[in-house]
Amino acid sequence: MLVRPPAEAAVTRQLLIVSRSERERYAYLQYVFDSETGDVILDRRVQARRRRDEPVSGERRRGDRRQRDITADLQVFGWALVRRAI
């Protein structure tokens, strides 16, 4: 009988993003949240950067890095939890 070693478990870190309008909650979550399992940050998004409507000669960006849209979570709850593999 051939026995395989267990596959390595994927390590995930949690990123807790707090709405800019919830600064007290941000301070509390920073105090409570363990930095070994994840980080707490304020939402840094302001608006889309590109302001020109005319087409550009070549796209330099490689696409959107965001995995999912958290806008609704931030508006409803004031925070959003994102898990990321490292």
pLDDT for residue 81: 92
Each residue's pLDDT expressed in tens, for the chain with a length of 86 residues:
566 666 666 667 889 999 999 999 999 999 888 777 789 999 988 765 556 666 666 666 666 555 678 999 999 999 999 987 76
CB-CB contact of 79 with 15 (8 Å): no
Question: Using CA atoms, how far apart are residues 72 and 23, in angstroms rounded to an integer?
Answer: 18
State which H helix or E strand residue 14 sits in.
strand 12-18
Residue ranges of domains in the chain: 12-44+69-86
- What is the per-residue pLDDT for 46? 76
Query: How many residues belong to the chain?
Result: 86
